[in-house]
């Protein structure tokens, strides 16, 4: 049976994406503690596939995911899944808004709900958790000694799935500061899939630092072949100050002739180059 890893515990947005990907297929979903653990499980063969967050429309790219793709490994993106993010305020049954003294969640979720916390719970402490589901689990089983021996009334920012799984009430829904909040997840494996007819290719490369205009010329290889670029993002190489890598998403599959030609041309102009997947676009 195909094992598919995801960032746990069950009830995270990652698990929601993994469940959506699984559908009715006989996959075994396996939870891991960190994004790195999910990706490493696929590298080492402990899991055939994994589901990891790639970027959020509010907070931007997930750097851990990008950094692992830069390593010398066979990981490939094989599918993308967009999940609308609706953050909810979860509490133990009977808890009122005015009772809450602490709000627990993943740092990204807390950041995405800053205005709500400032306006509706200005006196509440924010407590970071490993994931949104971990926050819900902690609220469901919270003990006073977890917070310096003081009596605290805790709430979690998580999704409705976590509320159902951990027996919590949904006190408020849609508390994120921006309504159009979407996280893009990718399914990873070790083998590239054949074209589906509606594909995207992701690459990462480093232009030569000692050649003026090298980035312009690299991107021009796509323009001259009428290849649309849907994303361009720079990241420090972590080697030398001012040295950057460029993550690029482009329309089409790497096996298409014009895409192959463009990628070969860019590779020749690069000091580092890697195709990290050709996969069906999210529909």
Exposed, middle or buried: residue 55 (CB in 10 Å: 0-12, 13-18, 19+)?
buried
Known active-site residue 246: no
Known active-site residue 201: no
Give the integer Cα–Cα distance in Å for 14 and 275.
24
Let me know: does 282 contact 184? Beta carbons within 8 Å.
yes
- Of 12, 95, 132, 183, the catalytic one is 183
Give the integer Cα–Cα distance in Å for 250 and 218.
13
Give the integer Cα–Cα distance in Å for 3 and 46.
8
Cα 237 from chain centroid (whole Å): 20
Closest listed residue to residue 136, CA positions, set 52, 20, 29, 10:
10
**Where does the chain have alpha helices with state H?**
13-22, 35-44, 63-70, 107-112, 114-120, 132-140, 160-166, 214-223, 257-268
- Of 13, 185, 222, 246, the catalytic one is 185
Tokens 């990462």 sit at which residue?
Answer: 204
Let me know: does 120 contact 53? Beta carbons within 8 Å.
no
Reading the block at residue 41, the tokens are 């499980």
Exposed, middle or buried: residue 218 (CB in 10 Å: 0-12, 13-18, 19+)?
buried
Active site residues: 183, 185
């Amino acid at each position: 049976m195909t094992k598919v890893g995801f960032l746990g515990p069950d009830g995270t947005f990652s698990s929601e994406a993994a469940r959506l990907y699984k559908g009715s297929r006989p996959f075994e979903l396996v939870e891991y503690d960190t994004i790195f653990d999910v990706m490493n499980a696929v590298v080492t063969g402990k899991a055939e596939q994994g589901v990891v967050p790639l970027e959020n429309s509010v907070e931007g790219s997930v750097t851990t995911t990008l950094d692992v793709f830069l390593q010398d490994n066979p990981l490939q993106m094989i599918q993308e899944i967009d999940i609308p993010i609706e953050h909810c305020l979860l509490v133990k049954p009977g808890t009122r808004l005015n009772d809450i003294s602490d709000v627990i969640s993943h740092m990204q979720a807390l950041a995405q709900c800053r205005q709500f916390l400032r306006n509706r719970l200005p006196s509440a402490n924010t407590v970071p958790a490993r994931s949104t589901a971990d926050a819900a689990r902690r609220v469901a089983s919270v003990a006073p000694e977890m917070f310096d021996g003081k009596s605290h009334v805790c709430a979690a920012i998580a999704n409705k799935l976590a509320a159902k799984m951990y027996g919590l009430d949904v006190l408020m829904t849609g508390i994120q500061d921006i309504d159009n909040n979407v996280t893009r997840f990718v399914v990873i494996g070790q083998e590239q899939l054949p074209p589906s007819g509606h594909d995207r290719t992701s690459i990462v490369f480093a232009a030569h630092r000692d050649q003026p205009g090298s980035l312009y010329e690299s991107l021009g290889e796509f323009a001259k072949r009428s290849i649309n670029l849907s994303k361009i993002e720079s990241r420090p190489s972590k080697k030398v100050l001012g040295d950057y890598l460029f993550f690029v998403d482009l329309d089409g599959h790497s096996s298409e002739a014009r895409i192959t030609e463009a990628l070969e041309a860019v590779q020749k102009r690069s000091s580092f180059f890697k195709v990290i997947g050709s996969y069906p676009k999210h529909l």
